[in-house]
Amino acid sequence: MSVIRSTIKMAIATFFSRILGLVREQVMAAYFGASGVTDAFLVAYRIPNLLRDLFAEGAFSSAFVPTFVEANQKSQNESRELMWSLFWLLFFITGTISLGIAIFAPELITIFAPAFTKDPEKFEITVNLTRIMAPFLTFVSLAALFMGALNSLKVFFIPALAPASYNVMSILCMIGLSSILAETGHHPIYSLGIGAMLGGFMQAAVQLPLIFKKGFKPLWPKKFWTERSKKIVKLIGPGLIGFAATQVNLLITTILATPIIGATSWLNYSFRLFQLPVGILSVSIGNSNLVHFSEAWKSGDQDKAKNQLQQSYYLSFLTVMPALVILFCLSDEIVNVIFERGRFTRESTLMTGEALRMYALGLPFYGLYKIWVPTFYALDRQKIPVIASLLSIAFNITFCLLLTPHFGFKILALGTTLSVFVNSVFQSFILKKDLSLPLNFFFSGRVLKVVGATLGSGILVEFFLKVEFFSQPFIHKCFYLGAQIFAACALYVTILLILGERSAVNAILSKITKKFKRSK
């Protein structure tokens, strides 16, 4: 129940943040559509965002949390010293990298989007956006540090809500600065870059009051290079590769998609929709598991740690499967209602929906990936995610290079899904061996019931709940889509109850109800 409670706290906060993120994407689609300048922003944003996921939120968090928990179990002074020594190390290292990104932006864009060099205006816009957003890496790295510390102290809600400030700043900048930039002779797309940079700063700033409240006020450490700092940096080294799979695969799709005008945007909009359940459910479960598994493992209670891991594994499947059904079966309808307005055309809707279906198939494996990688960090086995990442990256490159010329851009989304499947299955095999887990840990009757409920509800939605959608007025579309989503969830829960999973459904529903009542 501790995993469920922590997960629900983060999931509710992340839900509000992701909804704001969806609004941000809607505003971006309405203002800029799936155009060349949108592609320029997405390529420019991907550079600091790639390093953010590798250096900050990914590898750093997984290395930092178990070590911080260990230090805090000894004394608060030790953990406070550790946190602020890492604050200054992160500040100087990521600040230097950010400066390098700004200086070498033209060279980076030539590597990441070689097709842009044929369009001087697009190339210049992309370079300028890269320079504007370069400090974003530093700000979100510090935000990840604060989030890891607060999660280790069992504070989940506010850190998970912090990314909402990024979305708010992006929306405000698009609405408030686009016309001002156009009037002063600058391209309105720069408002997105300014919003991203300011949003990164706010994401770190909103967590500081809680850090201070918990007794972790700023200090200048007596020693930066402590044994624990060395341990974290040592873990981060191979962890940069271990957490690279998703972002490197996205980078590959970007390079292959840039020759097709709009393809980068179609993939981005579909991936953002796919990230909604990933962020709300998979990331929340993964972060919760990291804290609870690390705590049990570091205290020597291996049975409790394995039990926490099994509950996280089952909870991941239980919660993401209905999202898979909804995103796969109702992809075109969802994209139409959310994005199709302004400069976002019907063609963009259909192309984005096609990519979304390919991404949706990877939902359960993304859930496992978010649980397995931090688990290996807690076990001091960070080399395993490295090997898994290299395998998945090699698979994705081969798959996409061979098939994209024949089947189009949708192969890029499918390649990402299949690569994370390879990654998570490989890690599952090693984890089974390392922890001496029985086969029914992964293929228990409860998990098979969830798979059965997914297949059953998916078939019913696809063949019996579809209606003539695109010709309807917008209000009717919203009603039909809402009814279809509700029916899909109801079918999934009903089949689960028929199969005997009453206790799991009741536990989650009761916890969600209690949490929402407290938040009112």
515 falls in which pLDDT band (50, 70, 90)?
A: very low
Mean pLDDT computed over 210-214: 89
The 10s digit of each residue's pLDDT in 93-112 is 889 999 999 999 999 999 88
Q: 13-27, 89-103, 194-208, 352-366: which has the minimum mean pLDDT?
A: 13-27
User: Look-up: residue for tokens 């493992």?
Assistant: 297
Mean pLDDT (the chain) is 83
239 falls in which pLDDT band (50, 70, 90)?
A: low
- CB neighbourhood size of 427 (10 A): 25
d(CA 213, CA 410): 48
One-letter amino acid for residue 442 of the chain: F
263 falls in which pLDDT band (50, 70, 90)?
A: confident
**pLDDT in the model for residue 430:** 93
d(CA 69, CA 318): 28
The 10s digit of each residue's pLDDT in 44-77 is 887 787 776 655 555 676 677 778 877 887 888 8
**Residue 10 confidence (pLDDT) above 70:** no
b or e along 255-276 (b: 16 or more beta carbons within 10 Å of the residue's beta carbon)? bbbbebebbbbbbbbbbbbbbb
Q: What are the residue boundaries of the structural domains of the chain, listed by start? A: 1-11+243-520, 33-241
The 10s digit of each residue's pLDDT in 284-328 is 777 677 777 877 887 778 888 888 888 888 888 888 899 999 999
CA dihedral 384, 3, 161, 317 (to 10 degrees): 70
Question: In this structure, what token pair is assigned to residue 298?
Answer: 């570091």
**pLDDT in the model for residue 351:** 93
Residue 453: partners with Cβ closer than 8 Å, 6 or more residues away? 321, 492, 495, 496, 499, 501
471 falls in which pLDDT band (50, 70, 90)?
A: confident
**pLDDT in the model for residue 199:** 92
Residue 363: partners with Cβ closer than 8 Å, 6 or more residues away? 274, 277, 278, 282, 320, 321, 323, 324, 327
- Tell me the chain's radius of gyration from C-alpha atoms: 22
Residue pair 153/80 in contact (Cβ under 8 Å)? The answer is: no
d(CA 252, CA 262): 16
d(CA 116, CA 103): 18
**pLDDT in the model for residue 360:** 94
Sign of CA dihedral 334, 337, 343, 345: positive
